[in-house]
Amino acid sequence: MGLGGCIILIAVGAILTFATDWEASGVNLDLVGLILMAVGLIGVATFTSIARRRRAIVQPVAPTVVDPAHDERRY
């Protein structure tokens, strides 16, 4: 599940919790919405921590330049 899937879970959970007044027998839609939002938030946190580790910046090593006119090994 990528970042888009997590955001969709959060949105669907918020819609179920705050924007609907449906009644379903045996199912508490407010609780289902809260669970979906929690899973979405956990997914976003996990995704961002993994993405941050993948994008670790490694500084390039500058090449060593030897000037042949001043190379002390020649003398």
d(CA 28, CA 18): 13
CA 24 to chain centre: 34
**What pLDDT does residue 72 have?**
63
d(CA 62, CA 56): 19
Q: Helices H, strands E: what count in the chain? A: 2, 0
Residuewise pLDDT in 10s, the chain (75 residues): 788 999 999 999 999 999 988 888 899 999 999 999 999 999 999 998 887 776 666 677 777 776 666 656 555
